[in-house]
Amino acid sequence: MNLLGIDTSGEYSHIVLSKGDITKSIRFKRQFNRYPESSFLLRIKELLKNNRLSLTDLDAFIIGRGPGSFTGLRVGFATLFGLNFVMQIPVVGLSSLDFIAWNAKKTDFDNICVIQDARRGLVYACIYKLEDGFLRRSCRYLLIKPDDFVKMVKKNSCILGDGLKCYKHIFNSFTCLDEGYWQIKSVSIIELAKLSIKERSLSNFRNKVLPLYLYDKECQIKK
């Protein structure tokens, strides 16, 4: 199975290609004022070409739905919609918070709590459990004050995400994982997508998904 994944929600953008059991990726710092959609598309074509694949060889796309940078998500989704306009192949949409939570899959905690800085004194947050190798949410995706989120965190929980840069002092009574756990890893995009496909079957995925905006009411989608 050949999969192409995109995540543009954070400081770094990821383009990931899974060709059978081989994963290749491009990771670069987000500068969409300098790298518009056309440049982003060139990077995708370069990754496919270097691995002797074309768009027609792909079985599905993967997209990080956010929450995160509005501009970044716009570029990622515009690129995906353009690529899939003619192809109409399945799209596996996963929250970018899920990708970060997956970094802690080998830790021994009852709960994995992700907090990403959303600015304005808020964080994007979610709580997860690992059940039979699958990542399960214990709450909806949140846009919340750190002081309110910490009240939701239970014992034997770990905290990870770049929200710790500003708010680690609020979560000091829990185990805060170091910065090596905070960034999305390309392999997580592929691994979580494959688990989702295994659980639901590729035929059950639609050819279009929507970004997960949490900030503005006019951008929100129901979860």
**CA atoms in the 13 A half-sphere facing the CB of 46:** 9
Q: pLDDT (tens digit, 9 = 90+) per residue, 186-223?
A: 999 999 999 999 999 998 999 889 999 998 754 444 44
- How high is the pLDDT of residue 221? 44
Report all structural domains of the chain as residue ranges with CATH numbers, in order of start. 2-96+184-204 (3.30.420.40), 97-181 (3.30.420.40)
Mean pLDDT across the chain: 91
Q: DSSP letters along 151-212, please?
A: GGPPSSEEEESTTHHHHGGGGTTSEEP-GGGTS--HHHHHHHHHHHHHHH-GGGS-S-----
Q: pLDDT (tens digit, 9 = 90+) per residue, 138-185?
A: 999 999 999 999 999 999 999 999 999 999 999 999 999 999 999 999
- Tell me the sheet residues that pair with 215: none
Radius of gyration of the chain (CA): 17
Encoded tokens for 171? 């979560």
| Amino acid type, 27 | R
What's the Cα-to-Cα distance from 102 to each of 146, 192, 193, rounded to whole Å? Answer: 21, 8, 11
